[in-house]
Structure 1
Amino acid sequence: MPKHQQRQITDKQFHDAALIWDYHQMGTDRAAARRRSDWAATIWAWPPRQPTSTASASSLSWCSAAATAPPPARASRAARPSTTASTLLSLGVPGEAILVEPNAASTGQNITLSREVLAEAGVQVESLLLISKPYMERRSYATCRKLWPEVHIVCASEPLELDDYIKSIGDEKLVVDMLVGDLQRVIEYPKLGFAVEQEGPRDVCDAYKRLLRVGFDSRLINS
C-alpha cells in the first residue's frame, strides 16, 4: 500500500480506513471478471467514473447485454439515461446491447428493475457482472445475492488503492465517511431484509468502531 502522505486524517485513521477499503472489495480475479457474463449491471455514482477503467471496460465487452441503472438524484431524471448510455457507448459497448433502466432510486432497485427490463427484453440471465465503486462491491454483492440468488455474481470496480481514490475525490474525511457508511449498510441491511448477512473480520469491525468514535459518521443511515 502506498505510504499515506496527507494530513487531514491521522495515519492510524488511514490504516483503519484501509482495512475497511480492502474488506469492501470482493477480491474478484480480474480474469474471472473478463469471463463471459450474460449481462452487466452498473451501480452508478455521480459523476459516472467507475466503469471507465480498463478492467471494467474489457469486462463489459464480454457481456451480451448491459442493463444500466441511473446515477443518484443529483443528476436530473432526463440526464440519467443519456449519461449512462453515453458512457457505455464510449467504452465500446454496442448500442443494441444496452438496455437502460431509468427509474431506480436505490441499489436494490438497481437489481430488481434492471432484472425486469431484461426479462421484458427476453434476455435469459445465468451470470451477472456487477460494476460499482470500489467500496460498494460487497454491499452490491450482498444486495444482489438477496434479490437474485439464482444468478452467478462477479464483482468489478476500478482497480485503485485507497490513496489514489482519496486523491480522485479530493476529500479524505468524506471518503472515510463513505467507507464507514457503506460498512454500516453491510451490517444493518440484512436485518431489514435488504441483503444477505456476511461475517466481518474482527480487525475490520474494530476499525469501524474506532472511526465511528472519532466522528466519521456523516454517511450513516439516518445521519
Structure 2
Amino acid sequence: MPPPVQHPASDAYIYELAQKLWDYHHMHQPLRKADAILVLCSHDTRVAERAAQLFLEEWAPLLIFSGGLGVITRSMWSEPEADLFARIAIGRGVPTDRILIENQSTNTGENILFTKRLLAEKKLDPQTFIVVQKPYMERRSYATFRKVWPEKQLIVTSPQDPFAVYLSQYTNPELSPDDVISIMVGDLQRIRLYPEKGFQIPQAIPDDVWAAYEELVQAGYNRHLVVG
C-alpha cells in the first residue's frame, strides 16, 4: 500500500472537498426499463449487489458483467472481476442463463467495446442499457459509453449510499478512504482530459468542482492522476 496521504487541511475540510467531487460524479438519472443491465466491474463488489437487485426488480431481462483485471484489481485478485461479480449475482438469485460475462477488458472504454463485440457474437442487439458502476464513476462511465456506442440509449446508476456511508462501509477493505478520494480525483482529471484523446464525450466541470479538485491534488490526493 502507498504511504498515508499527508495534508495540512483538517479531515473535515478534505471530506468537504471530496463531497463536492462525489456530488458531481453522480448523474442522478431516474431508472427506467431497459433491454439489458451492463455492469462495469471493478474492486467494488457492492456494484454487483446493486446490479442483481435491479435485475430481480425486473428493470431488464439480461445482465452483462464486463471486466477482466484492471490497474487496481490485478494486485488484489487472480479471478477476473466479471466472474466474481457474476458469482455474487447468482448467489443473490439471478439465473445463470440470464447472465453474460465479458472478462477481458481492463478499462472503461474496453468494457463498452468488448461488450459490444460479445453481443454481436451472440446475435443480440439491445437498444437500451442500464449501466451500473461505482458511485464516483457514474459520469465518466456515461461519457465513455456515449463516445464508444453513441447509437444506443443508456442511463447510469450505482449503489445508493451517501458519501460518508460509502467511505466507512462499502469500499474494498484493501482501499482506505484516502485511496478512494485519490481515485475520485483521478477520475475527475480524466473527465477533463479524455475527450481530447477521443475516449469520452465532453462534460462541463463547474468552477467550484475544479477548484476542489485542485485543492485535493495540492493536499496529496494525486496517486491516481494521469501523468504526461
Normalising to structure 1: TM-score of the pair? 0.86
3-state SS in 1 of match to 2:14:
helix
Please show how residues 27-42 of structure 1 align to structure 2 within 5 Å. 27-29=28-30, 32=31, 35-42=32-39
Q: 2:3: which partner in 1?
A: none
Letter in 2 for 1:82: D
- By how many angstroms is 1:25 displaced? 0.7
What do the CA deviations read for 1:53-96 (whole angstroms, capped 9, x no partner)? 4xx4332233222221125324225x545323212212332211
Please show how residues 139-158 of structure 1 align to structure 2 within 5 Å. 139-158=140-159
1:63 aligns with 2:65: no
1:112 aligns with 2:109: no
**Distance (Å, rounded) in 1 between the aligned partners of 2:157 and 2:191:** 18
1:46 aligns with 2:46: no
**Distance (Å, rounded) in 1 between the aligned partners of 2:139 and 2:45:** 19
Q: 1:127: which partner in 2?
A: 128
Letter in 2 for 1:37: A
Aligned pair partner of 1:197 in 193, 202, 223? 202
- By how many angstroms is 1:41 displaced? 1.4
Normalising to structure 2: TM-score of the pair? 0.84
Please tell me the root mean square deviation across aligned C-alpha atoms, in Å: 1.9
Q: Tell me if the contact between 1:190 and 1:197 (Cα under 8 Å) persists in the aligned partners.
A: yes
Gaps of 5+ in 1: 1-7
Please show how residues 90-105 of structure 1 align to structure 2 within 5 Å. 90-105=91-106
**Distance (Å, rounded) in 1 between the aligned partners of 2:222 and 2:65:** 30
Q: 1:3: which partner in 2?
A: none
Q: 1:218: which partner in 2?
A: 223
How many positions carry a matched residue from both structures?
209
How many percent identity over aligned positions? 31
What do the CA deviations read for 1:139-159 (whole angstroms, capped 9, x no partner)? 100000000111111111101
**Distance (Å, rounded) in 2 between the aligned partners of 1:81 and 1:182:** 21
Gaps of 5+ in 2: 1-8
